[in-house]
């Protein structure tokens, strides 16, 4: 929601309870709207629903709580009923797994060995030292790269560099 929509929402609330909203309230409600990912239409509906059911002083948390409840409900629709999935038979699952392995050129027996072997050299991508896990990096090609977090599987460049000559 933008500030204009927050002002409109506070005007709607004021019509119900007569509160005096100033710049501080505008800032506080705008922050709550951003954190709760409110849309104006949803928030205005939540305000009206609140005052239709309650005499309690309305706070941003009431709106966020109502929106979370509504978003968690399945959509009401007269569309076709949801299809019930049929489980795939085991032969089909095996064919799909084999196809994926071939498509990705995965060698399922040596994948773990390749990862351990890769840890024995410096990563050409993130510059992780031998024995250290690769890290996810942020930055454009040719610019400084800042490490973000360790990753489970070594970078492909490191695994390729560690492969024995074939």
The domain spans of the chain are 3-72, 103-162
pLDDT of residue 106: 56
pLDDT of residue 108: 53
Dihedral (CA of 44, 48, 7, 61) sign = negative
Q: Which of 19, 37, 35, 166 is nearest to 107 (CA)?
A: 166
SS3 per-residue string spanning 69-106: HHHHCCCCCCCCCCCCCCCCCHHHHHHHHHHHHHHCCC
Q: Give 127-139 pLDDT, tens digit per residue.
A: 899 999 998 876 5
Residue ranges of the chain whose pLDDT lies below 70:
75-82, 105-112, 138-147, 166
Q: Is the pTM of this model over 0.75?
A: no
pLDDT of residue 159: 87
| CB of 124 closer than 8 Å to CB of 158 | yes
pLDDT of residue 148: 74
pLDDT of residue 145: 59
pLDDT of residue 140: 52
List helix spans (H) across 1-59: 3-17, 23-36, 40-53
């Amino acid at each position: 929601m933008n500030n204009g929509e927050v002002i409109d929402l506070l005007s709607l609330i004021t019509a119900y309870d007569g509160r005096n909203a100033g710049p501080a309230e505008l800032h506080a409600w705008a922050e709550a709207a951003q954190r709760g990912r409110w849309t104006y239409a949803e928030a205005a509906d939540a305000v009206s629903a609140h005052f239709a059911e309650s005499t309690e002083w309305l706070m941003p948390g009431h709106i966020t709580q109502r929106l979370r409840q509504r978003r968690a409900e399945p959509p009401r629709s007269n569309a076709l009923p949801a299809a019930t999935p049929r489980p795939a038979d085991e032969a089909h699952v095996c064919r799909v797994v084999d196809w994926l392995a071939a498509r990705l050129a995965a060698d399922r027996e040596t994948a773990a060995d390749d990862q351990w072997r890769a840890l024995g050299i410096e990563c050409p991508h993130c510059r992780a030292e031998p024995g250290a896990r690769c890290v996810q990096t942020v930055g454009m090609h040719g610019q400084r790269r800042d490490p973000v977090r360790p990753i489970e599987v070594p970078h492909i460049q490191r695994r390729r560099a560690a492969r024995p000559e074939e």
